[in-house]
Structure 1
Amino acid sequence: MVDYRYLGNSGFKVSEITYGNWVTHASQVGHDAAIATVHKALDLGITSFDTADVYANTAAEVVLGEALGGLDRAEFEIFTKVYWPVGRKGPNDQGLSRKHIFDGIHGSLQRLGVDYVDLYQAHRYDYETPLEETMQAFADVVRQGKALYIGVSEWTAEQLRDGHALSTQLGFQLVSNQPQYSALWRVIEGKVVPTSEELGISQIVWSPMAQGVLSGKYLPGRSVPEGSRATDEKSGARFIERFLRDDVLEAVQRLTPVAAQAGLTMPQLAIAWVLQNPNVAAALVGASRPEQLEDNVKASGVKLDADTLAAIDAALAPVAVTDPEETYRVSPKKRP
């Protein structure tokens, strides 16, 4: 079964392997397979589910809501997000204005078929809306019982500090940040993680397998596998491009004996690696087939020894991205 961790400086626990439906539901994966994968996640002990209104332009929330329908609401945790353009994508159908946050939470609750979400997240930082307006709207959402906790995604250290200060003044908790993080993409370690540790904010990390590259299935000098994420423009192909260089793929292949020595598959090693960071509350995993989750959940509770961690660092150090300045390039300076 899957272990649990506290989310930020709160009493709220989430499954450290959390199911995310970014590029699968209503997109890469058919309806019946999506439902079956959610049910498999529950069978394996995953109770936390991450989605967003923008995924498949709201359709991914509908699929997740259907998959969880009929279950006792206390048995699972739902995270969703607001920021990116949705629906008709008009001028107020995006960003973190008070209007869009309230339209967003009402739409998400309806699509998910629940009375509240456990965690409502700012999907990016909105430079066009005063932070005070955004945080006041989140405070009101919490007070109305429509979300229990508030989180953000891909905020910089300074943005986290400012958001935390306002949330404290307004009487609610900013408990989490959702950044990209893997053994190949370590940009949060320099500033975001130390600031988060100081403030009592956890990381819910996406792409712990670097879009599948750390699974080892992409080989240097070879064409990408047919049907893989790298071939599908709808399923994150542009995110994986940065990792498809031969020097990166050669470095990843050096992890094969490391994983074998640790008694893990390559995906398990990648997920276990991010979970060694005590500031990480959960690693987001997706799946196009239920059996993929059976492998992934075995990373829960794994403790990597010092020699294994050193071997991973040695293999990937020449190609891993560690520059904290990358965290300042994620949120658009203007709304899409």
Structure 2
Amino acid sequence: MEFRHLGSSGLKISEITYGNWLTHGSQVENEAALACVRAALDAGITTFDTADVYANTKAETVLGEALAGQRRESIEIMTKVFWPTGPGGHNDSGLSRKHIMESINGSLTRLRTDYVDVYQAHRFDVETPLEETMQAFADVVRAGKALYIGVSEWSADQLRAGQQLAKQLGFALVSNQPQYSMLWRVIEDEVVPASKELGMSQVVWSPIAQGVLTGKYLPGEAAPEGSRATDTKGGQRTISRFMDDTILERVQRLQPIASDLGITMAQLAIAWVLANDNVACAIVGASRPEQVTGNAQASGVRLSAEVLAAIDEALGDVVVRDPALTAQSTPEKRPS
């Protein structure tokens, strides 16, 4: 396993990070979830990403149980705050001081730790003054409950405004967590340049495009039984944008490229996002331990300029690049 600095900070994280968005507490049973975490640790993964909203706090609980007994100093735990948790009351979401302070305490209890390494704003909150949010994060850091602060799916303008306030308050934003893959490149034109300017890294989710870039979904054929595209608990909805025969046909053109390199299509997809020098890690999830083991083998894979060009040619115009789509990630009002 190879490691990269998170932004301009001194913190290093594993370039393959294990995430439990659609698995722990919902899609797979606890024993399978524990087995996946053990496989991640065995593969050298030290960084684990979760959020309080995943399975309405259950995912954090499962991860805390899975990591119990590990040397705390040897792992990095990342979690998030913004989306509704609990019964979804009027203060159970957003980035108000009240919600941040209550949420960090809940996350620490569920994760069985005194602190998280990175605490992330899961989205931008248009209903809370940015000054209030940044002050709350500053206080979380000063209280020792989080070592670093990051964000998720913020636009370039939001990153600049947030970083300016953060530095005035004596800390820094070190990371942004966006969706990024061969098929979804909306961060490249604006978010990545702003992040480099601000000393922030990308902690990318969905590098395999919810499993589409594994090549297991074939054009004109039904999705395999038990796959994410057949999961009614959330997986089916998140993958739907890629379940188009034109996209699936283009993805199949990546198979010869992966075969020539002696790697799987999933490993090719992960190595592709890691080829971006602003990416600190690729978050991978799994419902089976062998998936974790296979994905981890993408660490250290280097893709030549010729391979990157061949990938672009294979995918052609199905790649989504519109930078305006990042701003659309910001909810128009606080969710409930």
Please report the RMSD computed on the Cα atoms of aligned residues, expressed in angstroms. 0.7
Query: Could you say which residue in structure 1 is the equivalent of 2:280?
Result: 281
Matched, 1:254 2:253: yes
1:246 partner amino acid? D
Query: Could you say which residue in structure 2 is the equivalent of 1:139?
Result: 138
SS of the residue 2:65 aligns to: helix
Query: Could you say which residue in structure 2 is the equivalent of 1:72?
Result: 71
1: CA distance, partners of 2:303 / 2:164: 35
1: CA distance, partners of 2:333 / 2:327: 14
CA contact (8 A) 1:262 1:308 kept: no
Matched, 1:10 2:43: no
2: CA distance, partners of 1:301 / 1:292: 17
Query: Could you say which residue in structure 2 is the equivalent of 1:57?
Result: 56
| 1:111-260 correspondence to structure 2 within 5 Å | 111-260=110-259
1: CA distance, partners of 2:326 / 2:177: 12
Aligned-residue offset at 1:188: 0.2
2:11 partner amino acid? F
1: CA distance, partners of 2:316 / 2:14: 30
Query: Could you say which residue in structure 2 is the equivalent of 1:327?
Result: 326
1: CA distance, partners of 2:228 / 2:116: 29
Query: Could you say which residue in structure 1 is the equivalent of 2:292?
Result: 293
CA contact (8 A) 1:83 1:124 kept: yes
CA contact (8 A) 1:24 1:235 kept: no
Structure 1 runs, 4 residues or longer, greater than 4 Å off: none
1:188 partner amino acid? I
Matched, 1:310 2:323: no
1: CA distance, partners of 2:245 / 2:34: 36
Query: Could you say which residue in structure 2 is the equivalent of 1:91?
Result: 90
CA contact (8 A) 1:119 1:151 kept: yes
2:89 partner amino acid? G
1:8-55 alpha-carbon deviations (Å, 9 max, x no partner): 010000000000000000111111111111011001100000000000
SS of the residue 1:317 aligns to: helix
- Return the TM-score normalized by structure 1: 0.99
1:8 partner amino acid? G
1: CA distance, partners of 2:6 / 2:236: 30
- Return the TM-score normalized by structure 2: 0.99
Matched, 1:107 2:114: no
Aligned-residue offset at 1:235: 3.5
Aligned-residue offset at 1:85: 0.4
2: CA distance, partners of 1:59 / 1:41: 19
1:223-281 alpha-carbon deviations (Å, 9 max, x no partner): 11111111112242212111111110000000010111111100000000000000000
SS of the residue 2:120 aligns to: strand
1: CA distance, partners of 2:35 / 2:252: 32
Unaligned runs of 5+ in 2: none
Unaligned runs of 5+ in 1: none
1:79 partner amino acid? M
2: CA distance, partners of 1:331 / 1:67: 32
1:138 partner amino acid? F
SS of the residue 2:257 aligns to: helix
2: CA distance, partners of 1:234 / 1:171: 41
1:69-127 alpha-carbon deviations (Å, 9 max, x no partner): 12211011100000000012100110000000000000000000100000000000000
Matched, 1:40 2:36: no
2: CA distance, partners of 1:331 / 1:317: 28
- Number of residue pairs matched? 335
Aligned-residue offset at 1:317: 2.4
2: CA distance, partners of 1:255 / 1:40: 27
2: CA distance, partners of 1:3 / 1:103: 35
2: CA distance, partners of 1:68 / 1:240: 29
1:16 partner amino acid? E
2: CA distance, partners of 1:105 / 1:272: 33
2: CA distance, partners of 1:327 / 1:175: 18
